[in-house]
Chains A and B, each alone.
Chain A
């Protein structure tokens, strides 16, 4: 596997003429668009990494005349703030990406589910949306977008909980199957994509899949916007080509004393210094929705883990047993070990519990709690115990 160095890219924020790209897209057939996205190997940029082309293809294959395109802008992963920046600086490309997705799968209606805390962006976003609707009308294409606001629940970023929330119910994940591509919002075929995915899709149509696949590695094509935070002299948003190692990343962004990087936020993985050189940021190594949090040696990894577990104990929807009770057990468990009220070997029981949560939880939230827990406990066992 070829390893790539660190190189900055400007795709997401690059200024383009949206009308030209959309006219190009609308002149293509549904199959042609989907083929381009499939060839680009684009995977969802929200974190889970499902191939976008397949998602569109499945939705397009459904016979229902009513379909929806959803933009998931409920950016809630601790340490992620790239979607806010994209919406702030390039919302016209988000709208464009949705229209292209709509064209590809035969949907006339799009919803953007916007994180409640981003309400302050709305006036500007509506202004841009108005321009977009005007432009779409000029082109003579039928597609409209509405905003729906989240209210601060992390779980509503989970696709089916997001549908429930839009439909006016409590945001709780649904059983799958059926998957959104056949029965999503209002039980209609739905393609739900992250903000960045939609913008990337538009750029792929603009530049062509052949151009796009020149970036990245076999498993992680293209580039990605990273939210860099923690112990770094240069926190912020950076668009980087995929395929770099954590070491390359740390060399660029670290403060010289980085002992660990949490890749992918609270539901992601903790990479310790000794694994920096061998770990690729991407689907062949540690995948991320963009959150990159650096920790230097002044940080207690117990506190980091404790913080994440408190977060999950609060943000689990509470519906399924492994997640609701499991999060509380992991949290209380490490507290008891730390205080010496439980034996340090109790951590082994907790690791087994984390494994159960991974396989038995109803949705991605509960299934990924074990990622941070296991990677911190296994790599920083002493810090957790003593």
Chain B
């Protein structure tokens, strides 16, 4: 333990603790900008500088570990003057069109300006000295360099958490900027559109591309039938943007709010998550049969999940040789989209041309996914607009809805009924658990041998998880699997996905089934979720997801009555002709840079 003094108060902390954390333990707040709980220390904004007695310069409290006998002042005149200067310097190179900015009142620089830099600015405005690019090329987000304060949170996110490095620092001095390979537009680089950078940007330099106005237009168009679907992770995140603490489940209130916003049908992505389990589970068992029983050399194992569009683009860029290993199943969002303008429109007797399909996602990559040319199997654009959890919160505020006082209500039917297996799609390991709950029962006729169906080995926040399930008591059709050990692995965050993908591609790992989610924690930590998102908040959201699962009457996808019905009435059989037409897709090999 190290003893030091901060603002004349003595504090004892573990060796290696930063001054910033030690101060926090004492209830002393030191402002920060470049610092983020998920990322390595940068120490480059210098907002957090403090005075250390005897030191020649001020020290960055986020980057300086405590040492014995240190004497720190966090609010001395010297510190205050420097901090004010630093905030003013940042403002002088930031295009502060705050009232027009998407991040107005959600901007960390604005908050600091509010505390340190009201009144006349000291320094000259430098914005006019530079030519800035506003890159709108991605369907998922906008990169506006004129608002960038070069904190490099995005750069660290892209390399450390995602192993993508689509953005990096270019040039030096006054020309220093965050840029892409050869300054190419973001739509033409390895960017996976995961939006983790958007979630961490302290200013309006990286924001999701918003489609709120287009959705309002559709809602107010009397000719249109606007269908909305909500992803599993939205219901455990939305509350944070509406004044709740992290981890609050707001499913019922959210459904009511969506209805009040004017959506014609309020449906659930969880329905197609259940459908994904049937299709993907069947695909896995078919692959196993082909490889293990028939000795087919052309069928690829392990099979990777395909729900996460950020992961899809990642593997297309970095491991195109493994595309045959990807499940051909579309993501639940896109299955929903394809069915909304076919099955749903037929059942409800609506002209599919008049259906506008909106999805609420914890994700920015979903905006990109909806735009993929493959995603038009209904004969229309399957999903018209994708909004993030944050955008839905904005719409609810715009409509003047008092969210807290809303009654809870259930989703509409059809395509609104779901199971606990579907809701856990929102957490890392959830797709795996849901698939195992169904596949094991298909093969053995018995539920998975875990208490309360909770397959705990695949749960939790470890970057790469592994589990082995022994298959026993198989029914006739699957007798070849008797006694087999199904080896599965799970990764979340692309840096972990890369570890698994590399191990598989080099033959170092042998698995049968691998679940990958592009974002840390899975969808609950998605780029479209409320800001801030960090490990502590992801943990809360995860607990909420599993609570939601326990709370459901049905917890296995194949027991969802609407799933049974859709196969009887429309799809005929899993992986059948109609399924392949509507629910499955293919992938493209992309450049590695």
Listed in ascending order, the chain A residues whose CB lies under 8 Å from chain B are 153, 155, 170, 172, 175, 177, 312-322, 324-329, 332-333, 336, 342, 349, 352-353, 356, 358-362, 367
Contact = CB atoms under 8 A, between A and B. Distances in A.
Contact of B122 (A170, A332, A349, A361): A349
A324 B85 contact: no
Contact of A360 (B41, B46, B171, B173): B46
Secondary structure dominating the interface of A: helix
A153 B173 CA distance: 10
Contacts of A336: 124
A367 B57 contact: yes
B107 interface: no
A318 B176 contact: yes
Given A313-B174, A316-B172, A332-B126, A362 B90 contact: no
B75 interface: no
Given A324-B173, A356-B81, A362 B58 contact: no
Contacts of B47: 321
Interface string B37-50: 00001011111010
A328 B130 CA distance: 11
Secondary structure dominating the interface of B: loop
Contacts of A352: 81, 85
Given A177-B64, A332-B126, A362-B44, A324 B176 contact: yes
B150 A329 contact: no
A326 B46 CA distance: 12
Most buried by A among B85, B126, B176: B85
A166 B45 CA distance: 25
B511 to A, nearest CB: 33
A341 to B, nearest CB: 9
A50 B101 CA distance: 48
B172 A318 contact: yes
B174 A328 contact: yes
Contact of B57 (A175, A353, A358): A358
Interface in B168-182: 168-169, 171-176
Contacts of B169: 170, 172, 318-319
A322 B86 contact: yes
A359 B73 CA distance: 14
A175 B60 contact: yes
A359 B49 CA distance: 9
A322 B89 contact: yes
Contacts of B81: 352, 356
Given A317-B176, A332-B129, A362 B64 contact: no
Interface of B: 41, 43-47, 49, 57-58, 60, 63-65, 78, 81-82, 85-86, 89-90, 92-93, 122-124, 126, 129, 149-150, 152, 168-169, 171-176
9 contacts: A170-B168, A175-B60, A317-B172, A319-B169, A325-B92, A356-B85, A359-B57, A362-B43, A367-B57
B172 A329 contact: no
Most buried by A among B44, B81, B171: B44
Contacts, number: 118
A332 B176 contact: no
Contacts of A359: 49, 57-58, 78, 82
A360 B57 contact: yes
A352 B82 CA distance: 9
Nearest to A322: B46
A214 to B, nearest CB: 31
A317 B41 CA distance: 17
A356 B116 CA distance: 15
Given A321-B149, A327-B174, 17 more contacts: A175-B63, A177-B64, A314-B172, A314-B173, A316-B176, A318-B173, A319-B169, A320-B46, A322-B86, A325-B126, A326-B89, A328-B174, A329-B92, A336-B124, A342-B124, A356-B82, A359-B49
A269 B399 CA distance: 62
Contact of A353 (B41, B85, B126, B171): B85
Contact of B124 (A322, A332, A356, A358): A332
B129 A328 contact: yes
Given A318-B169, A322-B46, A356 B174 contact: no
Most buried by B among A317, A336, A367: A317
Contacts of B78: 359
A366 to B, nearest CB: 9
Nearest to A366: B46
A316 B85 contact: no
A329 B123 contact: yes
Given A175-B64, A352-B81, A320 B89 contact: no
B172 A155 contact: yes
Contacts of B93: 325, 328
A360 B58 contact: yes
B82 A321 contact: no
